[in-house]
């Protein structure tokens, strides 16, 4: 099965960055018998060698310009704060507009800003994207060929984006059984600040706070399933999340401030022994969580 669209067929895919997200995309395409030729690049020679050994890529490239010139589509699976540097490296190979470029970053405003800084505008062949999928594990060996199955991928094309480029990137993600949605850059960053960035910030902060307690061994030793479930994401890659929070600081601060206001209200109810107010919060939260669970069940059913 060839991943292409009638308007813009493509046969060679370049993936820059073979960590969890990039390697999982390659593994997912391999599992689904895609005839795409996949070129891979990574800062780590060991990672590149491992991706070749696992059969995720057909060829490892140490020259990003060479990879870009030989690819119809290039996926940048690199930390968001490094995108400007990568754009600068790839610019000479992108001048003819033949190659479609996309990314997988969790923040889209920084992609737009980096593109405008390097190219003067967001080019028509750039389709920013974000797969809403991941794991607390990282690295090429954590790759999962089903990581994107029934998960959403958000694309944030601009008004000047070439529709055939957007269709091309959509077809790529649909090939790995993801559901593609379109959204504006600013709305994406607002939504992800609430649904992804804030939960990670809270998990990191809670584990860090408890780790500094004098009786931390006992605290962690007797932690139950709820603690493990809530803090699982604190095992995520610190470097990646450092970049995400700095890149989406304002939207994250906005939702954090709203959460802290609500947390103060809950604290006040607890301090006053106001069981009715607490029960209202808990009941409302359970209803919302049950509704969310039904949405997920319908999506994966």
Q: What does the mean pLDDT of the chain come to?
A: 91
Report whether 40 contacts 27 (CB < 8 A): no
Please tell me whether the overall predicted TM-score, pTM, comes out greater than 0.95 for this model: no
CB neighbour list of residue 185: distance below 8 Å, 6 or more residues apart: 108, 109, 111, 112, 128, 156, 158
Question: Is it the case that residue 301 has pLDDT exceeding 90?
Answer: no
Question: Does the pLDDT of residue 156 top 80, yes or no?
Answer: yes
What is the pLDDT at residue 239?
Answer: 87
Q: What domains does the chain contain, in order, with CATH numbers?
A: 12-183 (3.40.50.720), 188-300 (1.10.3660.10)
Predicted confidence band at 247 (pLDDT cuts at 50, 70, 90)? very high
Confidence label for 293 from pLDDT (cuts 50, 70 and 90): confident
Under 8 Å between Cβ of 144 and 27 = yes
CA dist 105 and 154 (Å) reads 10
Rounded Cα distance, 200 and 235, in Å: 10
């Amino acid at each position: 099965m060839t991943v292409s669209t009638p308007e813009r067929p493509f046969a060679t895919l370049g993936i820059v960055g073979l960590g969890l997200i990039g390697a999982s995309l390659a593994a997912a395409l391999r599992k689904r018998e895609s005839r795409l030729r996949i070129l891979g690049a990574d800062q780590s020679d060991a990672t590149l060698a491992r991706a070749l050994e696992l059969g995720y890529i057909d060829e490892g490239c140490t020259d990003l310009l060479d990879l870009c010139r030989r690819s119809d589509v290039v996926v940048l699976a690199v930390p968001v704060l490094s995108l400007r540097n990568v754009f600068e490296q790839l610019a000479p190979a992108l001048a003819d507009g033949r190659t479609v470029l996309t990314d997988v970053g969790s923040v889209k405003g920084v992609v737009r800003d980096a593109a405008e800084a390097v190219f003067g505008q967001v080019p028509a062949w750039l389709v920013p994207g974000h797969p809403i999928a991941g794991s607390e594990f990282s690295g090429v060996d954590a790759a999962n060929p089903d990581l994107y199955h029934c998960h959403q991928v958000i694309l944030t094309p601009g008004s000047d984006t070439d529709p055939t480029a957007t269709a091309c990137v959509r077809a790529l993600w649909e090939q790995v059984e993801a559901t593609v949605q379109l959204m504006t850059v600013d709305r994406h960053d607002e939504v992800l600040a609430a649904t992804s960035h804030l939960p990670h910030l809270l998990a990191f902060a809670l584990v860090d706070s408890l780790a500094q307690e004098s009786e931390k061994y006992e605290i962690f030793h007797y932690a139950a399933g709820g603690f493990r479930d809530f803090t699982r994401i604190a095992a995520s890659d610190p470097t990646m999340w450092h970049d995400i929070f700095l890149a989406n600081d304002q939207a994250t601060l906005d939702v954090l401030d709203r959460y802290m206001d609500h947390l103060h209200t809950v604290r006040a109810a607890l301090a006053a022994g106001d069981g009715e107010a607490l029960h209202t919060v808990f009941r409302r939260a359970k209803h919302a969580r049950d509704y969310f669970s039904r949405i997920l069940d319908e999506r994966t059913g």
